[in-house]
Amino acid sequence: MKRCIYAPAKINFCLHVLGKRSDGYHDLAMLMQRVDLCDRIEIELSIGNGVTVRCPSLELPADGENIASRAARLLLKHVGTEAAVSISIDKKIPVAAGLGGGSSDAAAVLLALNEMLSTGLSRSELMDLGVRIGADVPFFIFGRTAWATGVGERLQPWPGLPPVWFVLVNPGIAVSTAWAFQNLGLTRSGATARIPEFPVGTNGLVRLLHNDLEAVTCQRYPVITSIKERLIADGACCALMSGSGATVFGVFPERHVAEQAARSYGGETGWWVRVASPL
């Protein structure tokens, strides 16, 4: 049995770091949005035992393990099923870019195997499994625009967006999420952040944008600030770093303006640049 699935990227419209927890993680409040940039994943089931993964564009660890294969092993162990699972990933989402590509791959594998093996796990049960692999995995299983709290596992649906397009720009810098949090100087602890109201037009969306991790990442990589400034100069109504970076997204009210801005980047810089729309 074989199945092809797509794992979308995400951006963070806002990311508030509320304080450090006793377990070493951080309490967060985030508004998260999926976009139509996707990894393509093929999963094949056969009789046997074991999980293998291949991703031609990436160098996998020596043991051949990544977050997608860990997701498959976790589900098989949880339901007590043996099967030979082969996973092939065609990466379109940059790695360590603040776009959640690995977490989305893991979520897609959990969702697909749940159906392929007819295990009958609910979405909530899959989300509980997913958070054991990565904090963003439950969001991708949730499958909707969401206000996320806790480490990112407590999710509330959010209505959506006015019609907008995004230009995603990554200057080829891989940023460690762990490094970003370790170097973040928290000035408050136990703060609260309320779920934002639905924005009326792009001006309302502009007022939502905020990322507590941006300052620490921009200090080390000033090019991120330069990208934000250029996106706005090229017609974006606002721009923000997604997650821990280094991808920056500009918000454009018109598609042709977004496409024009993206073309100028690709020709001049050699950076990774894509136009995307919300899912």
For residue 247, give the CATH number of its domain: 3.30.70.890
Average pLDDT, the chain: 87
Instruction: Tell whether 16 and 150 lie within a shared domain.
Output: yes
Minimum mean pLDDT range among 46-60, 70-84, 122-136, 228-242 = 46-60
Note the pLDDT tens digit of each residue in 182-227: 887 754 444 456 666 655 556 667 777 889 999 888 889 999 999 9
Q: Are residues 149 and 26 in the same domain?
A: yes
Q: What is the pLDDT of residue 223?
A: 93
Task: Give percent of the chain with pLDDT exceeding 70.
Answer: 89
Q: CA-to-CA distance for 197 and 161, rounded, in angstroms?
A: 11
Among residues 121, 141, 157, the one where a domain terminates is: 157
CATH value at residue 148: 3.30.230.10
Q: What is the mean pLDDT of residues 97-117?
A: 96
Indicate whether 171 and 268 sit together in one domain. Answer: yes
Range of the domain at 204: 165-276
Q: For the chain, give the number of residues.
A: 279
Q: Could you tell me which of 239, 227, 235 has the C-alpha nearest to residue 272?
A: 227
Q: Are residues 152 and 219 in the same domain?
A: no
> Residues 114, 176: one domain?
no
Cα–Cα distance for residue pair 138/61, rounded to 1 Å = 24
Res. 23: pLDDT tops 50: yes
- Counted domains in the chain: 2
pLDDT at 188: 45
pLDDT at 26: 81
Rounded mean pLDDT, 53-68: 76
Q: Measured between alpha carbons, how far is 24 from 27 in angstroms, rounded to an integer? A: 10
Q: Is 217 in the same domain as 82?
A: no
The token pair that represents 132 in the structure block:
């054991």
Last residue of a domain, one of 95, 122, 157: 157
Residue carrying the six token digits 């089931």: 45
> Greater confidence, 102 or 59?
102
Same domain for 78 and 131: yes
Cis-peptide into 246, omega within 30 deg = yes
Query: How many whole angstroms separate alpha carbon 230 and alpha carbon 250?
Result: 9
- Domain match, 26 and 108 both: yes
pLDDT at position 123 is 95
- Residue ending a domain, among 157, 179, 198, is 157
pLDDT of 251: 95
Cβ(224)–Cβ(169) below 8 Å: no
pLDDT digits (tens, 9 = 90+) for 154-187: 999 987 777 899 999 999 888 887 888 888 775 4
Average pLDDT over residues 89-104: 93
- The confidence score (pLDDT) of residue 199 equals 57
Long-range contacts formed by 2-5: CB under 8 A, 24+ apart: 2/42, 2/43, 2/44, 2/45, 3/42, 3/43, 3/44, 3/112, 3/115, 3/116, 4/40, 4/41, 4/42, 4/43, 5/40, 5/41, 5/43, 5/108, 5/111, 5/112
Pair 131, 243 in one domain = no
pLDDT surpasses 60 at 136: yes
Q: For residues 135 and 278, what is the distance between their CA atoms, to the nearest angstrom?
A: 21
The residues annotated as belonging to the active site are 10, 136
What is the Cα 225 distance to its own chain's centre? 21
Examine the domain organization and report whether 98 and 142 are in the same domain.
yes
pLDDT at residue 215, rounded to an integer: 87
pLDDT per position as a tens digit, 229-276: 999 999 999 999 999 878 999 999 999 999 999 988 766 677 899 999
Q: State whether 23 and 87 are in the same domain.
A: yes
Same domain, 226 and 264: yes
Percent of the chain with pLDDT over 90: 61
